[in-house]
């Protein structure tokens, strides 16, 4: 089954929605304009129920099929928030807000789910209920967890949940997925070092926190090279090193921050344990003190086997078997759809965005040619999972 013909007719309208959202990016939970646009569209489509303010600014729509004999309830999720970047695309619909842009394609994700909702509300050619989920704060704010904590799964009776993300560099008309871990757990790390400040000309009178911090930066790389199974991925990246304020003083304190990425729960535990054991010991060897604050942030995004197989079959119906990659390499990027997959069985799939700039790049733009493909995936997923009698 190729893309649904109706989306060829709707593509221009959906593209207009996408570009309007793109021109007005909003960060984290401050997605008030986007949420209002989404709610207004759902109302115009004749969606059965609309709930706003779920997870602060999330929007949920309920679409019932012609029948509900199956009793099935499936959730489809799109994210709405942008990133704190200055856009350099030069497009006519480029961001109108300095320092904010849709550099990850959430504008496209929202528009495609809106397009699918419009079609599903018109046709209702399924037996069951669809819950369309428009989520804020994916970019570091854990908006998925906020919606879950607000009762998303139980309130709307969601039994399975599916997500989709665009993939730069992969051709439009291709899908990419794998069972199990597809995106990494994303944890936050802070190391606070206290030494003894002194004049830079008399280092023997102090305890140099910059020296200590430098040894810590190098030593934590041994977690990947010497502690973890070589066949299991772990990334420990120190990304900020703050210490000192002038060139002739050795600073009393230093602070390091970074991220830890893992694809296996045991390796996640290992990384945290080794950091907490290694860092204070290194500092102590130099006469300093160091504390580790380790915050578990987004979990591993782990696809469920049965739902992954089902997503593959739907994708193949749309773009053909040869255009569905069922063994994409996991990425060490994080995704808060992981929280939803911890609550309910489901699957997260990537859809090719063509030869675009990479995600989180100031030259990135969502490829509007993906719209009919993505919308068709959502609709065929629903109609296949809950076929009308």
**Ligand-binding site membership of 104 (annotated):** yes
The CA-atom distances, in angstroms, between 337 and each of 96, 165, 210, 302, 358 are 28, 10, 38, 9, 20
Nearest to 159 by CA among 73, 277, 284: 73
Which region holds residue 172: left if phi is over 0, alpha if psi is between -120 and 50, else beta? beta
CA distance 185 to 262: 5
Euclidean distance between CA atoms 244 and 292, whole angstroms:
20
How many Cα atoms are found within 13 Å in the side-chain-facing hemisphere of 9? 5
Virtual torsion, Cα 377, 83, 43, 315, nearest 10 deg: 0
Residue 183, token pair as written in the block: 């995106």
Residue 106 labeled ligand binder: yes
Q: Which two tokens stand for residue 75?
A: 């959730």
87 is in an annotated binding site: no
What distance in Å separates the CA atoms of residue 27 and residue 279, rounded to the nearest whole number?
Answer: 34
Strands 73-79 and 129-135 come out as parallel
Query: What's the DSSP call for residue 330?
Result: P
Is there a binding annotation on residue 360? yes
Closest CA to 29 of 69, 54, 56, 68: 56
Binding residues for Mn(2+): 104, 106, 139, 165, 360
Q: Would you list which residues are annotated within the binding site?
A: 104, 106, 139, 165, 360
């Amino acid at each position: 089954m190729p893309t649904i013909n109706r989306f060829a007719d709707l593509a221009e309208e959906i593209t207009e929605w996408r570009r309007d959202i793109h021109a007005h990016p909003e960060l984290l939970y401050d997605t008030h304009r986007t949420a209002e646009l989404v709610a207004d569209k759902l109302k115009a489509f004749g969606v059965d129920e609309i709930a706003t303010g779920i997870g602060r600014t999330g929007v949920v729509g309920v679409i019932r099929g012609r029948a509900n004999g199956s009793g099935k309830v499936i959730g489809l999720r799109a994210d709405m928030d942008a990133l704190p970047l200055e856009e350099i695309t030069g497009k006519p619909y480029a961001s109108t807000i300095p320092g904010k842009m849709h550099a990850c394609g959430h504008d496209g994700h929202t528009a495609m789910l809106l397009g699918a909702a419009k079609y599903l509300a018109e046709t209702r050619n399924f037996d069951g209920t669809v819950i369309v989920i428009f989520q804020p704060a994916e970019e570091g704010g854990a908006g998925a967890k906020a919606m879950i904590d607000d009762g998303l799964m139980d309130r709307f009776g969601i039994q399975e949940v599916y997500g989709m993300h665009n993939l730069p560099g992969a051709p439009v008309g291709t899908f990419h997925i794998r069972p199990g871990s597809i995106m990494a757990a994303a944890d936050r790390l802070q190391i606070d070092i206290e030494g003894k400040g002194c004049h830079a000309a008399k280092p023997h009178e102090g305890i140099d926190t910059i020296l200590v911090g430098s040894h810590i930066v190098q030593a934590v790389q041994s977690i990947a090279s010497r502690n973890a199974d070589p066949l299991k991925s772990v990334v420990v990246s120190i990304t900020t090193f703050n210490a000192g304020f002038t060139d002739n003083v050795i600073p009393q304190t230093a602070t390091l921050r970074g991220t830890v990425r893992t694809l296996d729960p045991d390796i996640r535990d290992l990384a945290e344990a080794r950091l907490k054991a290694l860092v204070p010991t290194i500092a102590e060897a130099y006469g300093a003190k160091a504390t580790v604050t380790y915050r578990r942030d987004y979990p591993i995004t782990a696809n469920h086997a049965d739902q992954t197989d089902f997503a593959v079959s739907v994708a193949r119906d749309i773009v053909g078997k040869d255009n569905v990659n069922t063994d994409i390499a996991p990425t060490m990027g994080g995704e808060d759809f992981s929280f939803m997959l911890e609550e309910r069985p489901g699957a997260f799939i990537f859809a090719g965005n063509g030869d675009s700039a990479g995600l989180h790049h100031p030259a990135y733009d969502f490829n509007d040619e993906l719209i009919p493909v993505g919308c068709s995936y959502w609709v065929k997923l629903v109609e296949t999972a809950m076929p009308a009698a």
